């Protein structure tokens, strides 16, 4: 699969969401045996009945997908087009690497799958 091209801000968000959803689905189908756990790391926002906006945000800079591979921490950050990590994402990536985890950027669902596969092979020796 080729990296997707970017358009308007709305289209970029939509493409990004599709990329993350496709990667999650591919990981779930590949490791149905439960040896790998993966879940989306979303920022949620909504409006109260009073018309006030509330926002529940994940840790600033954290990856789009959280993965547990045999007890090891992996975060996957989806990027479309030529998008790069923000300063917060770069700082978070450094913290995760320093702590012994992984934080990987992917541009296709297959790249996300490969990052999980490599980590699993390192943990199992296969």
Enter the tokens of residue 92: 């978070």
Q: What is the pLDDT of residues 47-60, one digit of tens each?
A: 677 777 666 667 77
Question: Which residues of the chain carry a pLDDT beneath 70?
Answer: 1-10, 43-47, 53-57, 126
Domain assignments of the chain as residue spans, ordered by start? 9-124
Task: Give residue 10's pLDDT.
Answer: 65
What is 9-124's CATH topology? Trna Endonuclease; Chain: A, domain 1 (3.40.1350)
Whole-model pTM: value is 0.81
Q: How far apart are CA 112 and CA 107, in angstroms?
A: 8
The three-state secondary structure class of 68 is: strand
Residue 43 CA, distance from chain mean position: 12
Enter the tokens of residue 111: 């790249």
């Amino acid at each position: 699969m080729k990296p997707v091209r970017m358009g308007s801000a709305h289209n970029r968000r939509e493409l990004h969401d599709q990329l993350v959803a496709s990667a999650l689905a591919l990981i779930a189908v590949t490791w149905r045996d439960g040896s790998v756990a993966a879940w989306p790391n979303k920022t949620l926002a909504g409006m109260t009945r009073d018309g006030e906006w509330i926002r529940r945000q994940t840790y600033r800079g954290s990856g789009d997908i959280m993965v547990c591979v045999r007890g090891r921490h992996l975060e996957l950050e989806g990027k479309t087009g030529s998008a790069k990590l923000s300063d917060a994402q770069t700082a978070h990536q450094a913290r995760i690497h320093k702590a012994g985890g992984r934080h990987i950027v992917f541009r296709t669902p297959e790249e996300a799958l490969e990052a999980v596969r490599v980590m699993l092979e390192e943990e199992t020796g296969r």
